Structure 1
Amino acid sequence: MPNCEKPAGYRAPRSRETLNQYYWFCLEHVREYNARWDYYKGMSPGQIEAHLRADIAWDRPSWAFGQSAKPGKQTFQEEDVLDPLDILGQNRRSRAERVKNRGRPETPDALREPLATLGLPWPVTLEDAKARYRSLARKHHPDANNGDKRSEERLKSINVAFTVVRAHLTSRDLEKAG
């Protein structure tokens, strides 16, 4: 402000269009300026309403839930939503699993636990099982874990699981060849 000797440590916007450009005032004068400043000055009620509605969505386009923003794009599918905390309910999760596993062969009963121990999905190849076994063996070997008994027990269960999976896969391959 002209003739003001106080330090100008407070900023105030110059206009609605240039909110990143400021006038600098002392505390007394910035309060006076802000009390007189009207963001909507010069706008009609319709323009103010349109501006407020645009601010609700941060000036971004919006559309009804379940509709695509792009024409021709697939609409919302409930199965596409990941729900690890089961907020949407168990029924939704089981439906999503059925859709996800559609066309996938059923896991043999004898392999469910061994595959879970190895962290492998069904169907699995012998090469994938070997690679997974090697990485788990390196990770849980007692020598790599200062002789930890839990690591030793975990490695034993990994060995048993891999033996079962390998026996199943090799016997299946022999049946196909014979």
Structure 2
Amino acid sequence: MTKRRQTRHRAFDPDPDAPGRMCDMAGCTANAGYRAPKSRQTLREYYWFCLDHVREYNAKWDFYKGMTPIQIETHLQSDSSWQRPSWKLGSLGKPSKFEERLRDPLGLLSRARHARARSRPHDALERRAPKPIKQHLSALGLDWPLTMEELRAHYRNLARQHHPDANGSDPRAEARFKEINVAYTTIRAFLSAQ
């Protein structure tokens, strides 16, 4: 029967990578088999001690020695995320806009956003109406850029105003009403395709 070789180190076994030298504690002549970090700033540089002296050194070791409570708290918080930047869940590192996080069932914020967009100076190309609907926009008296909600609201007002029933079957009102319907249908189809 062969004996099984133990590959795991026991808790107090000397480090297998020990340099084979004497203990770094002054006056000690024992072999150094245990390492301990030199300071908080240089954690990869070590003292090499014998078992008794490494226990003594570790009992006195204070990682946070010389730090203020605020520095300690900051260090603990950065350690909780492995010292990497973190973001709120779901934002994927992008800053989130306040308006997008709110629910806006009445559309109050979206109206304000569109009003701000129109008041801001835009690039000349953005303000220019697309050619296929330019004539229809002028027929309705609308400016570009335009949302579907604004188009519908403006169309309802014009349709009520120029409907033949509201104007006593006036032929001019009927012609204007047809022009409004054609313009509305064309612009609506254009906005839906985008």
Pair member with larger Rg: 2
TM-score by length of 2: 0.36
Give 1 or 2: higher helix fraction. Answer: 1
Answer 1 or 2: higher relative contact order, Cα 8 Å, separation at least 6: 1
